[in-house]
Amino acid sequence: MSNGNSRRFSAEHLERTINLFEEVEAHRWVLNAAPAHERQLVCELWVCKARAFLEEDLSNDDKQACLWVLHVVRGIARSSGLYIKGLGRNDRDDWASRARAGSARLRARRRSDQQKAPPKPKTKAANNRTIHAKAVRSFPNLVGATFVVVGGEQEITMLDRYRNAGMSLIWVPASVRQIEACADRVRRGGVDGVIFLTDRNSHSFQKMLRNACRASGTAFEFSATGTASIEGALEKLNERREPMPESA
């Protein structure tokens, strides 16, 4: 590749394409269980982002990553019976503007979902059965480890359950001051892993924490908000982490 050609691709282009690829990779399976309205909005957002990037002067690798995103969304749309504008070969639009509008609609929808009335309280016996069922799941390689969950609101039940299981989860709110302090702690090797909630953070926070993880060799996993997705991230961390050595 000539030097002139390589200069055309800025670090910003590469980072945006990587972010989109990793966002889709982290959430494409979880999305199947999401409500239909959220599945529609997320798929439309992914397509608009990919189509907007494809209109730019990208490297071949970045172009292939965007085409892969369209392929993934096409499969989701086919299996779910969704119509997603932008999947058609001849579709035309201002994709960057549609992506910005789509992000705003998705945020508004999630805020609306959070403000809905809470479910009916369970009986004490039902609560006990739920806690017991969730406590059955174990991650033996994570015993004694400390992980930070970045973004969203603390889930006290989950924190207590895994504290009792021998690991620590520390919830870090998505604020500049808290993220900077967390990144500094990660860079110094103060935690064993980071679980990053992609739907509750900005890309700038992601970049800051991923750089800190790379610098310290700390494990990093994406997750969506919710117990099932966070436990999926813990499962991946458990698979990657070496088991504790047996005592003599």
**What digits encode the pLDDT tens for the residues 5-26?**
333 445 555 677 877 887 887 7
What is the number of other CB atoms lying within 10 angstroms of the CB of residue 69?
24
pLDDT band at 4 (very low <50, low <70, confident <90, very high): very low
Q: C-alpha distances in angstroms, 77 versus 23, 190, 246?
A: 17, 42, 48
pLDDT mean over 50-77: 88
For 209, the enclosing helix (H) or strand (E) is: helix 203-216
pLDDT of residue 152: 74
pLDDT of residue 118: 60
* Alpha carbon distance 126, 121 (integer Å): 10
Within 8 A by CB and 6+ apart from 90, the residues are: none
β-pair partners for 153: none
Outline which parts of the chain fall under CATH 3.40.50.1370.
Answer: 126-240
The CATH classification of domain 126-240, taken from the options 3.40.50.970, 3.40.50.1370, 1.10.1240.10, 3.40.50.300: 3.40.50.1370
Task: Tell me what the pLDDT averaged over the chain comes to.
Answer: 79
pLDDT of residue 119: 59
pLDDT of residue 211: 93
**What digits encode the pLDDT tens for the residues 72-98?**
899 888 888 889 999 988 899 999 999
pLDDT of residue 2: 35
Q: How far is CA 17 from the centre of its chain?
A: 15
